[in-house]
């Protein structure tokens, strides 16, 4: 994808490129980056463009303005589009493809979280591979305060990250927890001072980008399969990526570079 920046959903979803890292920014400042259906559409377009750009090795999702990652779905659209079960199903359908895209994204993804990360915003963060948060971030799923039910896909990641009891505590109360608590229960993986968050996230993203893409993909695919129910686990997919990796030019390059005491240069083949 070129040039090195692009805008989707009338500027509410922004994409910039930093070396081999694509950065997607939620940019709906007036609403603490709440996600409208148009933004979901734009997010899908941004993720597709970065997925299809062979230069991009890692994707970081973040929120503009420092006050929020994403404050949830845009509640102002609920009266019209999510007012009962049938409407709610149609509403969910309009972001289903984008959620599926992020859930099965072929490149590593990182959520870089400052400020509020609530409801649908936390769901987006939980669809990424890992979550780094600033000390001043806050997390919660206020569904019970709004009268909303979360379905199986909405809760599966939460339960797998924090366990059933912490998931119940968050959902029954709708409470907000701070970054330290989120770190303690496994909802986020790193906590940093706000001004260190993006530089440290990019450092990690760049170090992933410098590794052998097939090996990183093998880890991603295998971990995703481990998390599935055994009956749905695709052992062939694990074997296929494992073989591709071990037969790759990059594996040869990795061995040679080690023996020659130099930095490897990986191509993803």
Binding-site ranges for ligand COA (CB under 6 A): 31-32, 34, 71-76, 116, 118-120, 142, 146
- For the bound state, the minimum distance from the C-beta of residue 29 to ligand COA, rounded and expressed in Å, comes to 9
- For the bound state, the minimum distance from the C-beta of residue 167 to ligand COA, rounded and expressed in Å, comes to 16
**Percentage helix, strand, coil for the chain under 3-state DSSP, each rounded to 5:** 55, 20, 30
Strand 21-26 and strand 13-18: the pairing is antiparallel
Beta carbons within 8 Å of 249's beta carbon, 6+ residues apart: 267, 269
Peptide bond into 152 cis (omega under 30): no
- For the bound state, the minimum distance from the C-beta of residue 220 to ligand COA, rounded and expressed in Å, comes to 28
Which of 2, 80 has the CB closer to ligand COA? Answer: 80
Residue 7: closest CA among 35, 57, 49, 36: 49
CB 251 within 8 A of CB 221: no
- For the bound state, the minimum distance from the C-beta of residue 73 to ligand COA, rounded and expressed in Å, comes to 4
Which of 162, 215 has the CB closer to ligand COA? Answer: 162
Which of 64, 146 has the CB closer to ligand COA? Answer: 146
CA 6 to chain centre: 19
Which of 59, 118 has the CB closer to ligand COA? Answer: 118
């Amino acid at each position: 994808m070129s040039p090195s920046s692009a805008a989707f959903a009338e500027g509410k979803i922004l994409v910039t490129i930093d070396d081999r890292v694509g950065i997607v920014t939620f940019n709906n400042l007036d609403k603490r980056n709440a996600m409208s259906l148009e933004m979901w559409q734009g997010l899908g377009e941004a993720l597709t463009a970065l997925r299809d750009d062979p230069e991009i090795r890692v994707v970081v999702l973040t929120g503009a303005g420092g006050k929020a990652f994403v404050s949830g779905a845009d509640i102002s659209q609920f009266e019209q589009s999510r007012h009962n079960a049938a409407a709610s199903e149609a509403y969910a359908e309009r972001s289903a493809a984008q959620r599926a895209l992020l859930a099965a994204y072929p490149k590593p993804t990182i959520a870089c979280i400052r400020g509020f990360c609530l409801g649908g915003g936390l769901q987006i963060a939980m669809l990424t591979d890992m979550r780094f948060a600033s000390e001043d971030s806050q997390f919660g799923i206020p569904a019970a305060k709004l009268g909303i039910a979360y379905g199986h896909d909405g809760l599966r990641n939460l339960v797998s990250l924090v366990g059933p009891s912490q998931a119940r505590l968050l959902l029954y109360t709708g409470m907000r927890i701070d970054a330290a608590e989120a770190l303690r229960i496994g909802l986020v993986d790193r906590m940093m001072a706000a001004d260190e968050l993006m530089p440290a996230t990019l450092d990690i993203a760049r170090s992933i980008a410098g590794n052998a893409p097939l090996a990183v993909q093998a880890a991603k695919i295998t971990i995703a399969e481990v998390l599935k129910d055994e009956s749905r686990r695709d052992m062939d997919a694990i074997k296929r990526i494992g073989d591709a990796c071990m037969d790759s030019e990059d594996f040869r390059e990795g061995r040679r570079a080690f023996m020659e005491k130099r930095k490897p240069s990986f191509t993803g083949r």
